[in-house]
Structure 1
Amino acid sequence: MSTETINKNESGGVRVKVQQLGRLLSGMVMPNMGAFIAWGLITALFIPTGWFPNEYLGKLVDPMITYLLPLLIGYTGGQMVHGKRGAVIGAIATIGVIVGADIPMFLGAMIVGPLAGWVLKQLDKLYEGKVKSGFEMLVNNFSLGIVGAILSIVAFTGIGPLVESLTRLLSSGVEVLVNASLLPLVNIIIEPAKVLFLNNAINHGIMSPIATEEAARLGQSVLYMLESNPGPGLGILLAYWFVGRGTAKASAPGAAVIHFFGGIHEIYFPYILMKPILIVAAIAGGVAGTFVFQILGAGLVGPASPGSIFAYLAMAPKGGLIPVLAGVLVATVVSFFVSAVLLKTGKKGEEEPNLEEAAAKMKEMKSSGMKDQVDPSAAAVVAAKGKEEVNKIVFACDAGMGSSAMGASVLRKKLQQAGVNITVVNSAVSEIPDDADIVITQKTLTDRAIAKQPNAEHISIDNFLKSPRYDELVERLKD
């Protein structure tokens, strides 16, 4: 094997591990994003500098950020590793880091939640099948209680203070960047990482915890906007719309609407993969937008998730709407003009970029961190059901919020047009409901979906936005 091949394999392995870590971090936050938004709204409305200051209702702010949000993260992290038992012990360990620190313990919860679930999982394996009949509940409850108590003490005395020091160090680093007017340079890292599908890891796993601690102290944080700014992606899509060619030009307006108003940023990643040099436009837009945010003192009171302009409007602090919108606008304009120049200066006779190939490449990149993969040539349709047996169709993806939501919307519209009254929903692949009759996933997720719901019919597709299997399914259910 050549040195080049070894280096390629090593770099690919590193990317896969980073993606897996990113999924773990974002997977603990994204299911609880509604709670973060609730805290952000209460903060924006009722703190002394909020839209409607109210001392009585403002009492909700501190308990939510101190206890509720970290406990939800720790609970979810433990559940991801070891189900309900892992969730419970994750919450027990998390209360240790909460009490053992003087700042919101989001990073601490991300560490001890999965760790506690893993420890209990290993213990359960040791005595699995060795407990006498009738003593299972006693052993299960006491093992969880004893290990949970030990882990909460360890978290309280050791992990909590350590993570607090780390958080303060990271916050100090951010302050140094802000004071030196270097914060926009962070987008040089963020924008390429987003296209590699590390966007959720960066936003929810790194930026949001630090930003939430900063927002609790200062009332707002610019860090919420570093990754979620819809401006760079919108500029690229508008450039394709005005100066692009072929299918990319035709599909760009719809993608722009989904991206800017729906907040699903993954929609513009294939457009960059079609012409990778456009990452320069994304970086330029991100840097310009963050620069405007910084000089105008912009910030949000809570996370903008998804990264929709509506989320920005909802999370903007009182008197801070204009700086927020200015940063988004500047990012869009800069990204648009750089993208337009790059698209117009392509080589003459250059083949038209293939959007479908780019989308397939995107799906491959997104799923490359999965251990279980299916044969790409497999149709993966299991136990086809008749119309009378189908009451619910579930689209499933990693987080259950992005591509699966788009796919569910597309199929729902097709079924309505065909006069077929069947419920269509979306979910995370790890949370497919028990009453799902048909489950639709990307090919690389089908094995996990089958393991979660083996009795459902499973359909694999390449592209959630456009797949011939949609029409095939509609015709089958209609007939």
Structure 2
Amino acid sequence: MENVIKAKTPSFRARIQAVGGFLTNMVLPNIGAFIAWGLLTALFIPSGWFPNENLASIVDPAIKYLLPLLLASTGGRMVAGQRGAVMGTIGAIGLIVGSDIPMFLGAMIIGPLGGWLIKKFDKLIDGKIPAGFEMIVNNFSIGILGFFLMIFSFYFIGPVIEAANNVVSSAIKSLVDTGYLPLLSLINEPAKVLFLNNVIDQGIYYPLGMQETLEAGKSIYFTVASNPGPGLGLLLAFSFFGKKAAKRTAPGAIIIHFFGGIHELYFPYVLMKPLTILAMIAGGMSGITTFYLFDAGLVAGPSPGSIISYLALTPKGNFLGIISGVIVAAVVSFIVTAIILKFDKKTDEEDFTSSIEKSKAMKSEGKQILNPSNELSNTKISKISFACDAGAGSSALGATTFRKRLQKANIDGIEVKHYRIEDVPEDTDIIVVHKDLLERARLSHKNKRIITIENYIEDPNLLKLIDELGKR
């Protein structure tokens, strides 16, 4: 459905999505460092492929110092540039030294907090510094504020986060001990299709997984929300038993989802047939159960969650369990989805037709009550931005596909790029997002024209947009 921005209070879900996106964008630039640490662990610890006592000595300092400091620096930079990065890093060292656990979650809190503090201070003194004193004020402001933040994080923030971490760890470990860990799929799978997965993954499972990997050399926590098996099974079922549009697009989505790790590709299929969330939950539960029975785990968070990442981060002796968990999840999800599709008499085209009709109705209404700057007809369109949670998965796919469609239609002069929702530049004329991210997009872009889609490969709203651009 096509949407034009109105003043509206963002929903709680949209705000949680924004938090998840912020966490993701602290983690995403540093994924390479996490993978490097995972490979170091998989290769050189005593139970690794090539045990090496000297190289294994890097494992502990890297997880306790390097990775949290990178997260804090990135979080501070996202809020206040380089000065924020320095402030966040200063605050993080207090957390790290004052705690007995790897401070990933703490770093993702203290980094942005440090950036926020220095940003507020800079705004407070803006225009009030005497000429010639800029450098000394800039340096000492970070030094003094950073000093107090470091002390505060050492004595207060660190202990609080450690206590909260212990509570969450105990709760989840009790699920492991009692065999109820698969129940997490009741939370994970619905959260994923509502674009809330990053809050859970980066905020909870990654920190817990890194802690367990430091002790055991692997962790099942890295698999509980990232398993590509359930999505594979669902898309396979749509490929065989779907109707028309869904059946046509599912095979292409399989390749991008399973090998590229972009799980957002299967979300529209679940949203089109909400009952298939049961298949995703069943697949997720069966996968976790299989990983648990084989005592399998990964050495780092698989980002993106593709089968390639899974195999690359599987430690010695765990390949059978990991591969089995993915296959079992896919088979269970396929069977449940197939049953649902066989008994569902409603065609997928009915959903698409409904969306098009709603789009036309809203467009007609918008012409009457909204300002004309949001209409295509008399406005020059030179830049279209595809936006998603992290700006590196589904939006990249959507932008690439749309550029090719413009080329086929011989439409020139339009720049198409992909971004994180909050990073869409001001010179953008049209923003394209998944419909479930609309409210989050409103938070940052109140006066922009926004088009929502349900399918990143073939969506009627994108086809309609190309037709309109071609008539200009």
Q: TM-score, normalised by structure 2?
A: 0.82
Structure 2 partner of 1:400: 391
Structure 1 partner of 2:303: 305
> Does residue 344 in structure 1 map to residue 357 in structure 2?
no
DSSP 3-state at the match of 1:442: strand
Q: What is the distance in 1 between the residues matched to 2:276 and 2:220?
A: 25
Superposition pairs for residues 310-349 of structure 1, below 5 Å?
Answer: 310-346=308-344, 348=345
> Does residue 195 in structure 1 map to residue 187 in structure 2?
no
Superposition pairs for residues 21-100 of structure 1, below 5 Å?
Answer: 21-100=19-98
Structure 2 partner of 1:130: 128
For 2:401, give the aligned amino acid.
V
Structure 2 partner of 1:274: 272
Q: What is the distance in 1 between the residues matched to 2:325 and 2:373?
A: 42
CA gap of 1:139–1:351, structure 2 versus 1, over 3 A, is: closer
The partner residue of 2:420 within 428, 435, 454 is 428
CA contact (8 A) 1:71 1:91 kept: yes
CA contact (8 A) 1:171 1:210 kept: yes
Superposition pairs for residues 240-259 of structure 1, below 5 Å?
Answer: 240-259=238-257
Q: Offset of 1:468 from its aligned partner?
A: 4.0
Q: Offset of 1:395 from its aligned partner?
A: 5.4
CA contact (8 A) 1:380 1:460 kept: no
For 1:284, give the aligned amino acid.
A
CA contact (8 A) 2:245 2:348 kept: no
Q: What is the distance in 2 between the residues matched to 1:288 and 1:358?
A: 34
The partner residue of 1:354 within 348, 351, 374 is 351
For 1:404, give the aligned amino acid.
S
The partner residue of 1:442 within 419, 432, 448 is 432
Q: What is the distance in 2 between the residues matched to 1:379 and 1:57?
A: 60
Q: Offset of 1:341 from its aligned partner?
A: 0.7
For 1:204, give the aligned amino acid.
Q
Sequence identity (%): 50
The partner residue of 2:149 within 135, 148, 151 is 151
Q: What is the distance in 1 between the residues matched to 2:17 and 2:87?
A: 26
DSSP 3-state at the match of 2:225: helix
Between stretches 407-416 and 48-57, larger displacement belongs to: 407-416
CA contact (8 A) 2:21 2:198 kept: yes
CA gap of 1:447–1:290, structure 2 versus 1, over 3 A, is: closer
Q: Tell me the matched-pair count.
A: 441
Gaps of 5+ in 2: 1-7, 359-370
DSSP 3-state at the match of 1:120: helix
Q: Offset of 1:53 from its aligned partner?
A: 2.3
DSSP 3-state at the match of 2:130: coil
For 2:221, give the aligned amino acid.
L
Gaps of 5+ in 1: 1-8, 362-373, 452-457
Q: Offset of 1:103 from its aligned partner?
A: 1.6
Superposition pairs for residues 463-478 of structure 1, below 5 Å?
Answer: 463=453, 464-466=456-458, 467-468=462-463
Structure 2 partner of 1:109: 107
CA contact (8 A) 2:432 2:451 kept: yes
CA gap of 1:432–1:42, structure 2 versus 1, over 3 A, is: farther
Q: Offset of 1:116 from its aligned partner?
A: 1.7
DSSP 3-state at the match of 2:219: coil
Structure 1 partner of 2:286: 288
CA gap of 1:100–1:16, structure 2 versus 1, over 3 A, is: same
CA contact (8 A) 1:438 1:459 kept: no
DSSP 3-state at the match of 2:392: coil
Q: What is the distance in 2 between the residues matched to 1:287 and 1:228?
A: 12
Q: What is the distance in 2 between the residues matched to 1:146 and 1:68?
A: 24
The partner residue of 1:168 within 166, 171, 175 is 166
Structure 1 partner of 2:214: 216
CA gap of 1:383–1:446, structure 2 versus 1, over 3 A, is: farther
Q: Offset of 1:158 from its aligned partner?
A: 1.8
- Structure with the bigger RCO (C-alpha within 8 Å, sep 6+) is 2
CA contact (8 A) 2:232 2:330 kept: yes
CA contact (8 A) 2:374 2:449 kept: no
DSSP 3-state at the match of 1:298: coil
DSSP 3-state at the match of 1:29: helix
Q: What is the distance in 2 between the residues matched to 1:254 and 1:287?
A: 26
CA contact (8 A) 1:304 1:315 kept: yes
CA contact (8 A) 2:249 2:457 kept: no
DSSP 3-state at the match of 2:223: helix
Q: What is the distance in 2 between the residues matched to 1:381 and 1:91?
A: 49
Q: Offset of 1:211 from its aligned partner?
A: 0.7
Between stretches 128-137 and 66-75, larger displacement belongs to: 128-137
CA contact (8 A) 2:406 2:466 kept: no
Q: Offset of 1:26 from its aligned partner?
A: 2.3
Q: What is the distance in 2 between the residues matched to 1:400 and 1:354?
A: 27
Q: Offset of 1:256 from its aligned partner?
A: 1.2
CA contact (8 A) 1:232 1:331 kept: yes
CA gap of 1:284–1:375, structure 2 versus 1, over 3 A, is: farther
CA gap of 1:360–1:226, structure 2 versus 1, over 3 A, is: farther
Q: Offset of 1:356 from its aligned partner?
A: 8.4
Q: TM-score, normalised by structure 1?
A: 0.81
For 1:127, give the aligned amino acid.
I
Structure 1 partner of 2:4: none
Q: Offset of 1:441 from its aligned partner?
A: 4.0
Q: Offset of 1:427 from its aligned partner?
A: 4.6
CA gap of 1:16–1:417, structure 2 versus 1, over 3 A, is: closer
CA gap of 1:416–1:43, structure 2 versus 1, over 3 A, is: farther
Q: What is the distance in 2 between the residues matched to 1:279 and 1:411?
A: 29
